[in-house]
Amino acid sequence: MAAARPTCVQTNNGLRPGMTHRSATTQMGEKVHFHLRRDTMKAQSGFTLVELMVVVGIIGIIMAIVSLSFTQWNDKYTVESYTKEIHSILMRARNDATTTNTSRLVTLSANAVQVWQDVNNNGIVDIGVDTTTGPRPYPRFTLNSNVGGNPPVPIILPVTIIFDRRGMTNNIQTLRITGYSPNASPGVDCIAVAVTRINMGSWDPTQPVAALQCVQQ
């Protein structure tokens, strides 16, 4: 009986003794697949520096836009809230003057408002008399006052608005809140005080006199 021959006796083509062409092809394919998978994992394992810089830049832009929008919204809300509250204080002071038959003095500074009862109706804040309202502070923005004219004449604060026993005043002026961001665009930011009326409005500098610059809303 003839001796069994080795499966493969050629070694010059890279086959080891005992290795068939099929097994060699299979092993080579596994090596190629391994290297491809390793390269793919390397490619997916992280970001490049340029990619990270782009992401950080985009995040920075988004944060800046959000911050600016929030500032404008917050200013708009706060100015409208301040204006409505000061208007309410003035209306209440006028009403209290008529119902109690006693004058009311509303003192306005750049950042606060307070109301006094004028017990002797002399138009002066008397020593020892407590305030009926306030002082109510408005720390974030500045309260300004103007009287009629072209251009309007600013009034140096503090200033006092006197409501007599009939609820009327001769301290005609326009109050305006300033100091908010340019694009806030509040719906109301000024108060026009007339002899018998107190109206809120939006400041319009194109009008010729202070009484008209606070456009009623």
Domains of the chain, start order: 50-216 (3.55.40.10)
> What are residue 147's DSSP bridge partners?
153
pLDDT tier at 190, thresholds 50, 70, 90: very high
C-alpha closest to that of 125 among 101, 104, 96: 104
pLDDT at 114: 93
Mean pLDDT score, 133-158 = 82
Residue 198 has pLDDT above 50, yes or no: yes
- Output helix, strand, coil percentages for the chain, rounded to the nearest 5: 35, 25, 40
Residue 32 has pLDDT above 90, yes or no: no
pLDDT tier at 201, thresholds 50, 70, 90: very high
Whole-prediction pTM value? Answer: 0.69
Residue 13 has pLDDT above 70, yes or no: no
Among 51-55, 74-78, 88-92, 147-151, the range scoring the smallest mean pLDDT is: 147-151
Q: Mean pLDDT for the chain? A: 79
Assess contact for 174 and 165: CB atoms under 8 A.
no
Cα 96 from Cα 88, distance rounded (Å) = 12
Name the H helices within 2-113.
21-43, 49-100
